[in-house]
Amino acid sequence: MRIDEWLSHAQKQIMAAGIVATPQDAILEARYLLRRFLQCPQSYIFAHIDATIDAAQLQRLDEWLAQRCNGMPLAYLCGRIEFYGQEFIVSNNVLIPRPDSETLLELAQSYFPDKNAELNILELAAGSGALGLSMLKIYQNAHLLMGDISPAACDVMRQNTKLMGFDARTTIIQSDWLADIAPDNKAKKRDCIIINPPYIRRDDIADLSASVRAYEPHLALDGGADGLDCYRILNTELPPFCNAQTILVMEIGAGQQSDVMAVMDNFTFRHGKQDLAGVMRALSFIISP
């Protein structure tokens, strides 16, 4: 089968599965899937549109297509996702970083305009490490401590740290929030703490899209009965890691601003920032005096 023939076939399959709404989106998905499979730039596909896909490749490619049509997110299928201009490794042991979360990076940067600042940064519930590692890319003299309760997530963090060449500036820990952080790391006050905690109400997980509900780790989604369990823990455990200048930036779900602000009573609210859809997505705090 030629590349153009497979793309036409894949476009029809993706449309029939209801993965996307338009034929234009379906062909874009098909091209992306093929590009990732062949590990080539899109220009190669256009330049070799009549090239033949050999039988062994075709079998594996069709397996990828079937998995995508069954709802597997492209990021998990391909093992990569772009976030804030950088490619990250992902697996189904971590949440897929989304553009909404880039709002946290923009809010954090508003407090630290000097890109040469020697910041000490902490990321918790880090998953792939996309937020913390993006901060290291922005702040070339910064150092990062990041952790997650999942050992598999920590493995993904290590892969991304190596991919970006930030091993010397990064410490990775497996920890249930802050419980397992070593004394020498506890002694360091952080300039910036950035967190995307689980905030979905437990009963609402069943209403999430099938691709999220079936494939993304519930440990990283489930915020308890009211979606606020993790904020309660952070409100209690974070103060020893903060001084008067520490900026805490956290992601929240739609409509959670007032509830999160009420829970975080050891901190003083500073600013909020909406995502591109106009949803309040990121809140910043400082430790209360």
Whether pLDDT at 1 is above 80? yes
Q: What is the pLDDT of residues 67-94, one digit of tens each?
A: 999 999 999 999 999 999 999 999 999 9
pLDDT attached to residue 186: 65
The mean pLDDT of the chain is 95
Rounded CA-CA distance 26/5 in Å is 14
DSSP 217-271: -GGGTB--TTS-HHHHHHHHHSGGG--TT-EEEEE--TT-HHHHHHH-TTEEEEE
- Residue 18, judged by CB atoms within 10 A of its CB (0-12, 13-18, 19+), counts as exposed
What angle do helix axes 55-69 and 3-17 make, rounded to 10 degrees? 20
Q: Which fold has domain 84-287?
A: Rossmann fold (3.40.50)
Residue 88 near residue 76, CB atoms below 8 Å? no
Place of tokens 């476009």: 11
Whether pLDDT at 59 is above 70? yes
Whether pLDDT at 189 is above 90? no
How large is the average pLDDT for residues 165-178?
96
Q: Is this structure's pTM higher than 0.85?
A: yes
Under the banding of pLDDT at 50, 70 and 90, the label for residue 206 is very high
Could you state, in order of their start, the residue ranges of all structural domains in the chain? 3-70, 84-287
Whether pLDDT at 165 is above 90? yes
The partner residues of 145 in beta bridges, in order of sequence, read 122, 171
Query: Considering only the top CATH level, what class is 3-70?
Result: mainly alpha
Q: What is the pLDDT of residues 271-283, one digit of tens each?
A: 999 999 999 999 9
To which H or E segment does residue 121 belong? strand 120-124
Q: Encoding tokens for residue 87?
A: 């490619």
* 5 or 189, which is more confident: 5
Alpha-carbon torsion 19, 25, 27, 30, what sign? negative
How large is the average pLDDT for residues 19-28?
93
Q: Encoding tokens for residue 207?
A: 């209403």
Under the banding of pLDDT at 50, 70 and 90, the label for residue 181 is confident
pLDDT attached to residue 187: 65
